[in-house]
Amino acid sequence: MKKIEAIIKPFKLEEVKDAVTAVGVKGITASEIQGFGRQSGHTEIYRGAEYTVDFVPKVKLEIVVEDSMVDSVVEAIAGSAKTGKIGDGKIFVSDVGDVIRIRTGERGADAI
Amino acid sequence: MEVHAKTDVPGDAADEGPIPVLRRERAGLAQEAYNLSGLAYARRHADLFDSALRRVWDDAIAGAGESLGPVALVALGGYGRRELCPFSDIDLMVLHGGRRTDGVSAVSEAVFYPLWNEGFDVGHAARSVKDCLSLAASELESLTTLLDARLLAGDADLFDGLRADLERKIGKKRRALLTQSRAAIAERREAYGEGAYVLEPNVKEGFGGLRDVHHVQWATRMLDGDGSFDDLADTGYLSRHNRDRLLEAFDWLLKVRTTLHYLAGRKTDRVFVEYQEDLAGRLGCKGVEGFSPGDHFMRDYHEHSATIKHVATLFWSRVTPPRRRVAIPGRRQRISERDTPAGKEASGTGDSREGARAAPTGVANGLALFAEAARRGRIPDPDVVESIQETLGPCEAPITWSRESCGHFLSILESRGASVDALETMNEIGLLSRLVPHWDGIRYRPSAGAYHHFTVDMHCFRAVAELTRLAEGEDDRSDLTRRLCEEVRQPDALRLATLLHDIGKGGENHAARGATLAKQICDATGLGDGELVSFLVANHLLLSVTATRRDIDEVHLIESMADRVQTVERLKMLYLLTIADSVATGPAAWNEWKAALVRELFFNVLHVLEEREGLRENPSPAATHAREEARAALASEPAADVDAFLADLPDSYLAGFSSDAVHLHFRLVHNLAAAEIRTLARPTRAGAVEFALGATDRTGLLAKVAGVLALNSRNILAAQTYSLSNGTALQIFLTTGYFDDRPEETDWDAIADDLKRALFGRMAIDYRLARKLAAYQRGGRFHRAAEILVDNSVTPSATVIEVHADDRIGLLYTIAKALHDLELDIRVAKVSTSADRAVDAFYVVDAHGAKVEDAAHIEEIKRGIEHQLERT
């Protein structure tokens, strides 16, 4: 099992959700986050005063899937989140040791 | 007090134990509960316990020894008041003569154990009179519990002794106790918040809840009354009318609490949303026009709760007058110079109209009084409020708005700190409904959605207050919102729109519906510019919805937003309204994340609108301000040169750069030698680098610089070029890397060197760029023909040529070179890219400095640019 974490532009949330649902993802955790990468923050100037945005607002998605689905989910995210401009975000894929569904106690792939 | 020694158990149940009888009778009462009023139920419920406990007590006493001494069973708190909801605590005390003997313990256990075993929540104690008095002296809550004490069974003399001692104690420190009561109410308000106006109120502890009525009753007892509802009017602190309203509201809330307990199957005081539909059904709220049954129920809830809040406030103002009050012409000054309780209303009937005969009456005068108080940051004296309420006249009487009334109303919206209290009070007494057409559609209306915390009307009041806070700069880390508040030229219209922004709630598409209503309200009252207010109401969600759901860097989106908003002034108002609305909604609707997105969108649209407006002739106060700031930053430079420099630059330039940047730009062009070229590269936003240069002005300069930047793999996001009167040109480019976003990897010195060679004709830009293009040509791309638009309506001083073309390396160079070949002077170039399509706009004049208006000339220009684009 893998965890796929994707940092995307906020307005892309619906599109990405639809895209990953279409390839069979059953659950997504989404959070409002702020951070910076290459896009970094920036400074707006208004009437001579500077207004700095250090952290850019983004949405983080967390999705856990079976290994066989990783490629299609990553592709779905990358395809739907892309605008081609700076700040489109990143996707991280990492191993997941185990998954437990709290209500039933199911473990592993059954609990996804 | 009469003591019921005998129980009134029905004959056929005489053999049944008291607890089984209680169980059976409580089940029977539960069947009838919904047909009883709140108080009737609570009293009957308490009576059932009385009967059972007297039997239990008799059995316990019979089992105790001879040496027991005087003892009594006393009901305390809510049970003492005969105010028992289905799962209320049963507060009991065994009062004894002094020593807690084994006999007392045995009797206590015999009384309490059966109740515990049955699963009741029993508050239990065994105390002497002395214990009680010292507890009562130590904390207010113990004292008020004892104020409610009622003898159930046992030694009446012992109980009467306790009552007499308690009254003596209270008599000695009446004022201190009343002050403590007020403090306790304030503390409770702090801990539980509002009862009225919140979406899930606490029926007991919330402000405007049952507890506020208890406090009124306790205070009356501290003032020698008996605390009954009749007594409240008889002792003169409330008029009969308000006493009746208080009683009715209390009774209704008590029924809500009873019903809530049954629905939840346990003791609970919070009116959670999931119970509201069921409560509506049980309390007979069937829904009225525009209100669902659940909303109807909550509207009634808030109305009753607000009544309690309002009457209790009135009561307290008469019992312990606050220091400051507003003098009312023609009205006798009461309370402030007298002491309680001698200062009770002299009439003895509590009819506060008695002293108000000469007081101003009617809607218009009521409004004037609220305005007068608001200007001092207060609300009117509760007595005045009461007299306004009583003289509002019949609801159907038409209101005539005068210029003066409008001024009064707007000054209430503007008042610091008092606007929420004033509007809330005006809402409660029905004044607001009389003044503002359609107001009843949102009065006490619950808001839908998890984001919301308050009813619609309270949300609007809070939003208005939020504007005041923004103007004082309390919200923002920076002072952006404060400055915007200062700059807004029609703050009254903004405040009015904020009050009315949700007036359309209760129907589909509340923003559009509200816009129509707001227009009608403005037309009917003359309160403000109907078009503007209606625009703001219609678009109050535009910024927040767009910021979170759309690509706020997308050029066409920003342009279409700018088209919709039209002016910088309206954008500023919309931005302030958005923040006030969001903050007032509740913490879930506004956080730094969302604030950053909305601010970003605001700036993006602002830049477009300022650019459109900046090229017009009339300078705004803001532009004047920017000029002054720039002048201050350039204070160390020769004044005459600074003046000339600033005079050459348009408002749009000064609005777009910080005063530090302006200083750097000045240095680029100041005392420039003929062959000299000065350059500057500084990182600005989002990994972009501003590249600026000063050079002797010559045609074709833009094309050459653009070419050199393209050769060095810099993508041009925006370009501004200014021809200065000292014969130099200032050109500023916002650039990013084509292939990466790391500005530190670009060798800006090398670019400066290239530039010098290019300007002195030692670099064949065409040739080099063709080679570079060959190396990097992206294959297989869909090619669309360029579109070229020429517009002379944008600004009086220049022709705008807009080129839409597929983005590629050197595009700006190609177009600029084509314009140069046509002897056109580029005043401003604005370059932007959406996906792989570039939209470049050039403000140009011909060789004589005039606009290009001849159709044939325009056609020639289009052909020339097209040719260059196709060739490369």
A45/B594 Cβ within 8 A: no
Contact B511/B476 with Cβ under 8 angstroms? Answer: no
Does A31 contact chain B (CB < 8 Å)?
no
Q: Residue B795: pLDDT band by 50, 70, 90 thresholds? A: low
Give the highest mean pLDDT range of B228-237, B397-406, B616-625, B638-647.
B638-647
Residue B427 token pair = 């809402």
Lowest model confidence (mean pLDDT) among B116-125, B175-184, B746-755, B793-802: B793-802
Top pLDDT among B388 and B43 is at B43
Residue B794 has a pLDDT of 65
Helices (H), ranges, B719-759: 748-759
Which residue among B626, B633, B686 sits closest to A47, beta carbon to beta carbon? B626
Per-residue pLDDT band at B340 (split at 50, 70, 90): very low
Nearest C-alpha of chain B: how many angstroms from A106? Answer: 31
Q: How close, in Å, is residue B95 to chain A by CA atoms?
A: 51
Taking residues B12-27, what's their average pLDDT? 84
Q: Which residues in chain A are contacts of B576 at CB distance < 8 A?
A: none
Q: Residue B412 pLDDT more than 80? A: yes
Find, among B171, B107, B112, B109, the residue nearest to B143 by Cα: B171
Average pLDDT over residues B854-868: 89
- Least trusted range by pLDDT, from A87-101, B351-365, B380-394, B456-470: B351-365
Name the closest residue on chain B to residue A58, using Cα atoms. B593
- What's the rounded mean pLDDT across residues B495-508? 93
pLDDT, position B619: 53
* Contacts by residues B824-829 (CB-CB < 8 Å, ≥ 24 positions apart): B824/B852, B824/B861, B825/B699, B825/B723, B825/B849, B826/B702, B826/B721, B827/B721, B827/B722, B827/B723, B827/B797, B827/B798, B828/B615, B828/B720, B828/B721, B828/B722, B828/B798, B829/B702, B829/B718, B829/B719, B829/B720, B829/B721
Residue B838 has pLDDT above 80, yes or no: no
Task: Find residue A44's DSSP bridge partners.
Answer: A51
CATH topology assigned to domain A2-111: Alpha-Beta Plaits (3.30.70)
Q: pLDDT tens across B27-43, in order?
A: 999 999 989 999 999 99
pLDDT at B718: 73
Q: Residue A61 in contact with residue A28, Cβ under 8 Å?
A: yes
Q: What is the ipTM of this complex?
A: 0.81
Q: What pLDDT, on a 0 to 100 scale, did the predictor assign at position B687? A: 63
Q: Give yes or no for a contact between B456 and B298, defined as CB atoms under 8 angstroms apart.
A: no
Tokens 């056929």 belong to residue: B12
User: Residue B183 and residue B590: Cα distance in Å, rounded?
Assistant: 32
The conformation of residue B198, written as its DSSP 8-state character, comes to: B
| Mean pLDDT score, B390-415 | 83
Distance CA(B299)–CA(B246), nearest Å, equals 17
The percentage of chain B sitting over the pLDDT mark of 90, rounded to a whole number, equals: 36
Confidence category of residue B356, pLDDT binned at 50, 70, 90: very low
Say yes or no: A48 contacts chain B, CB-CB below 8 A: yes
Q: Note whether B46 and B79 are within 8 A (CB).
A: yes
Question: Distance, in angstroms, between B543 CA and closest chain A CA?
Answer: 13
Per CB-CB distance under 8 Å, the chain B contacts of A55 are 596
So what's the pLDDT on residue B255? Answer: 96
Nearest to B533 by CA among B547, B543, B522, B544: B522
A41 CB-contact burial (10 Å; exposed 0-12 / middle 13-18 / buried 19+)? middle
A40 touches chain B (CB under 8 A): yes
Residue in A46, A54, A90 to test binding to B, most B beta-carbons within 10 Å: A46
Among B252, B211, B267, smallest CA distance to B36 is for B252
Of B219, B213, B214, B212, the C-alpha closest to B189 is B212
Rounded mean pLDDT, B38-54:
96
What pLDDT does residue B716 have? 81
- Report, in this order, helix, strand and coil percent for chain B, each rounded to 5: 55, 10, 35
Averaged pLDDT, B738-748: 65
- Cβ contacts of B347 within 8 Å, gap of 6 or more: B236, B354
Contact predicate B101/B68, CB 8 Å: yes
Residue B350: is its pLDDT beyond 70? no
Phi, psi angles (nearest 5°) of residue B718: -155, 150
Interface of B with A (CB under 8 A): 478-480, 483, 548-553, 591-594, 596-597, 599-600, 603, 606, 622, 625-626, 629-630, 633, 654-659, 661-662, 684-688, 736, 741-742, 835-836
Q: Which distant-in-sequence residues (6+ apart) come within 8 Å of B11 by Cβ? A: none
Residue B217's pLDDT band, with cuts at 50, 70 and 90, is very high
> Is A57 part of the contact surface with chain B (CB cutoff 8 Å)?
yes
Residue B867 makes CB contacts below 8 A (sequence gap 6+) with: B818
Burial of B362 (0-12, 13-18, 19+ CB in 10 A): middle
Distances from the Cα of B398 to the Cα of B426, B435, B441, B496, B753, angstroms: 18, 9, 18, 21, 79
Residues in chain B closer than 8 A to A9 (CB atoms) = 551
pLDDT value at residue B195: 62
In whole numbers, what is the pLDDT of chain B averaged over residues?
83
Q: Residue B64: pLDDT above 90?
A: no
Give the model's confidence band at B395: pLDDT under 50 very low, under 70 low, under 90 confident, else very high: low
User: Which of residues B690 and B626 earns the better pLDDT score?
Assistant: B690
Helix B403-414 vs helix B362-375: crossing angle, to nearest 10: 40
Domain residue spans of chain A: 2-111
Handedness of CA B521, B525, B530, B536 (dihedral sign): negative
Would you say B159 and B151 are in contact if contact means Cβ atoms under 8 Å apart?
A: yes
The CA angle B471-B475-B481, to the nearest 5 degrees, is 45
Residue B14: which pLDDT band, with cuts at 50, 70 and 90?
A: low
Q: What is the mean pLDDT of residues B167-176?
A: 87
Residue B468 pLDDT greater than 60, yes or no: yes
As a whole number, mean pLDDT of residues B558-583 equals 92
Tokens representing B795 are 């600004």
Residue contact A47–B742, C-beta within 8 A? no
Most confident listed range (B201-210, B546-555, B743-752): B201-210
In this predicted structure, which of B560-574, B600-614, B837-851 has the lowest mean pLDDT?
B837-851
Under an 8 A CB cutoff, do A55 and B596 touch?
yes
Contact B733, B692 (CB under 8 A): yes
In this model, does residue B341 exceed pLDDT 60? no
Q: Does B271 or B473 have the greater pLDDT score?
A: B271
Q: Of B177-186, B526-535, B647-656, where does mean pLDDT reach its minimum?
A: B647-656
Say how far apart CA B725 and CA B783 lie, in whole Å.
42
Secondary structure element (H or E) that encloses residue B55, with its range? helix B38-63
* Residues B818-841 as b or e (16 or more Cβ within 10 Å = b): bbbebebbbbbbbbbbbeebbbbb
Cα angle B757, B758, B761 (rounded to 5 degrees) comes to: 90
Determine the pLDDT at residue B312.
92
Give the minimum alpha-carbon distance from A11 to chain B in angstroms, rounded to a whole number.
4
Give the helix/strand (H/E) hosting B40.
helix B38-63
Q: Do A57 and B591 touch (CB under 8 A)?
A: no
Residue B93 pairs in a beta bridge with B74
The distance in angstroms from the start CA to the end CA of chain A is 9
- Joined together, the tokens standing for residue B533 give 């207010």
From A11, A33, A38, residue closest to B549, measured CB to CB: A11
Residues of B in contact with A82 (CB under 8 A): none
Most confident of A71-75, B234-238, B469-473, B560-564: A71-75
What does the pLDDT look like over B97-110, one tens digit per residue? 887 778 888 899 99
pLDDT digits (tens, 9 = 90+) for B108-123: 999 999 999 998 999 9
Mean pLDDT score across all residues of chain A = 90
Evaluated on CA atoms B198, B204, B205, B207, the torsion sign reads positive
Mean pLDDT confidence for B413-435:
88
Q: What are phi and psi of B621, to 5 degrees?
A: -60, -35
Q: Kindly indicate the confidence band of residue B308, based on its pLDDT and cuts at 50, 70 and 90.
A: very high
Most confident stretch, B210-224, B356-370, B637-651: B210-224
Q: Say yes or no: A18 contacts chain B, CB-CB below 8 A.
A: no
**How much is the pLDDT for B332?**
35
**DSSP states of B672-728 as a string?**
--TT-EEEEEEE-STT-EEEEEEEE--TTHHHHHHHHHHHTTEEEEEEEEEE-TTSE
Total H helices, total E strands in chain B: 36, 13
